Chain A
Amino acid sequence: MVEISSIEKTFESRKKKVKAVDGVSFKAQPGRIYGLLGPNGAGKTTTLRIIATLLKPDSGKAQVMGFDSVKDATQVRKRIGFLTSDMKLSGNLTPRELLQFFGELNHMQNGDIKKAIREMAEYLDMGEFLDKQVGKLSSGMKQKAAMAVSLIHNPEVIIFDEPTNGLDILTARTVTEFLKDYRRQGKTIIISTHIMAVAEKLCDNVGIIFKGRLVENDSLEGLYGKFNEDNLEDLFFKVAEREGVMENA
């Protein structure tokens, strides 16, 4: 379970001050996928990074399974798997070596790491390329390796920033199937996306975020009912129009 209460985050530079997250609150439940929807620059990544202990909120709280993301950062990290589609696996190590490395980073015992590698390789069908250099793998193989890396320690909470961004249709399918399967295992999953089709296919609960503010937060069905719509894209544009975002687009 992940609970976010009234988090705020402002980035300051010499030139300007930008409020990236403005009082965002939501809950993500085990066995469900929570989707944070919004255009680029809406504050999705910042919110996810606060949950993942990478950023500290200026105010408000992010709790992962009861642990505070600032005060109990180490406990939170133990329980989350964080992945971003920005991550480009490269270099000369093999997926097996990377998994070993990330297992060690998570202070797993060597025997447990070996077992987890075997299971992960079987689960994600990585056997064929487990010992090939990641720099030489296809994008689909790299994506599988990246997912395995962030999940080697079997976290209870999975945070995935733009999971299908920039992926080809086959790789995107692998990712969505993988997320559905992890939901079936009872994991708490939070994703961010600006692709409505992905959210529609995957998410049980949806939060719509514009300019750092969470303007809608409900189950997918709840939102369809509230806006009298049967597809997320139209619903999203209705909300955007209501919030005055369309005028500035």
Chain B
Amino acid sequence: MLRDVLIIFRKELKNVFKDGRTIFAVLILPMLIMPIIFLVINTVSTSQAKSFEETVYEVNLVNLPDERFEGILGGLIKYRAVQNTDKEAVLSRDNYLIVEFPADSDQRIARGEGLDAKVYFNSTSRGSSYGAQMIRNALSNYSSLLLADRLAQHGLTLADLNMVSVQQEDVAPEESRGTEFLAVLIPYFLLIYIFSGAMNIGLDTTAGEKERGSMPVLLVNQVSRTSIAMGKILYVMMIAVLNSVFTFIGLMIAFRLGGPAFGAGEMNFSSLSPSTLAGLFVTLLTMAGLAASIIVLLGSLARNIKEGGGYILPIYIFAVVLGVATMQMESPDNPLLYIIPLINSIFVMKDIITLQFVSWRFLLMLLSNLTYVSVLIFALAKVFNSEKIMDSSGS
């Protein structure tokens, strides 16, 4: 039987790898797309930040109480003080901002009262928002300065207000620190790419085969229909795994290129040791087996590619939603969650990436996924051995 399964598998694989476009879509594109996206976003955000830093803002400081504020603001942005009080100009010019202090701010400071400062900016302009943020920072620093003045009159400093000093001690093993970002994104992307990689290929080898009229000719041979079904699953699974592995490589390159720009902080790639990668790969295999079995089964039930697409799309959307919903979640302890397909793989991958591998969770995931795949193969063999496999109609 294995020999027959491999005949089908080899033929399908040969067909797909003789097509340059498919090789590009399955292997090269997943590896390139993430680094390109990260690189472009990184480059754009860096150049935009640089451009804001170099912008000379025109700031109208209305009722300025104290020249020290100008010094503080000058330390944060390049600016030129102007007298234009036209608030409409804030809307039309990205580099024009107004800071309005109360008319009696001098007296209020002298009396030790607080100030209400108004900042006029345009929230729809990134340049204006950046300038306003810098002004808010300057105002905060200025507020501290005024507070320090008042405390000094009583022989106190700002540090005297801090009654509790906090010292943090991270007890996480050094090798697992900085893996959170990887644990958020890697399971999500692998799940998505397993489905997207398997979808078209899985539909083409089932519903597509019906549409092209080649299914009957394939079935009238010495190879059992169960072997044909299993060969097709193995082929779709292989493509899904390749697609995901190349996506993973692309993600690693992307994180190295532009991860910190996405607020990822310092990322720790050392957690991805050979044993971690092996654990991830096994999880990936079972997840790919599951996705391939579902897609091949639904594709086989469809009469044409269009109908098959309609069957598979809700599953794909479900996988995307599942990926997003679990992104920020930590692996829970509830054993029930490790028998729910796809969710179990996501949590186990998180465990592996953050070096918090729990063997019972891994085993439960492995056993339940293998059980689901077996049930799906059984169902698929039933479909291939029934007349349902002959149902076809043009698209």
Contacts and interface: CB of A to CB of B under 8 A. Distances in A.
Interface of A: 49, 52-56, 74, 77-78, 80, 82-84, 86-93, 97, 101-102, 104-107, 133, 146, 149-150
A102 B214 contact: no
Contacts of A54: 216, 219-220, 387, 390
Contacts of B7: 101, 104-105
B80 interface: no
Interface of B: 4, 7, 11, 14-16, 18-19, 212-214, 216-223, 387, 390
Contacts of B18: 92-93, 133
Given A78-B222, A106-B221, A107-B222, A88 B216 contact: no
Closest 10 interchain pairs by CB? A86-B213, A92-B18, A105-B221, A87-B213, A82-B220, A107-B222, A101-B11, A88-B212, A104-B7, A92-B19
B221 A102 contact: yes
Given A92-B15, A92-B19, A104-B7, A52 B216 contact: yes
A155 to B, nearest CB: 10
Nearest to A78: B222
A89 B18 CA distance: 16
Specify which of A54, A87, A88, A105 lies most central, judged by the most chain B CB atoms within 10 Å of its CB: A105
B390 A93 contact: no
A83 B387 CA distance: 18
Nearest to B208: A90
B133 to A, nearest CB: 56
Contact of A55 (B11, B213, B390): B390
Interface of B is mostly: helix
Contacts of B218: 105
A55 B217 CA distance: 13
B220 A87 contact: no
B217 A77 contact: no
A89 B214 contact: yes
B124 to A, nearest CB: 51
A92 B23 CA distance: 12
A80 B212 contact: no
Specify which of A54, A78, A133 lies most central, judged by the most chain B CB atoms within 10 Å of its CB: A54
Contacts of A106: 221-222
B221 A56 contact: no
A84 B220 contact: no
Contact of B214 (A56, A80, A88): A88
A240 to B, nearest CB: 27
B270 to A, nearest CB: 42
Specify which of A80, A89, A97, A101 lies most central, judged by the most chain B CB atoms within 10 Å of its CB: A101
A87 B7 CA distance: 21
B221 A77 contact: yes
B213 A88 contact: yes
19 contacts: A49-B390, A54-B216, A54-B220, A77-B220, A77-B221, A77-B222, A82-B216, A83-B217, A86-B213, A87-B212, A87-B213, A92-B15, A93-B15, A102-B221, A105-B221, A105-B222, A106-B221, A133-B18, A150-B220
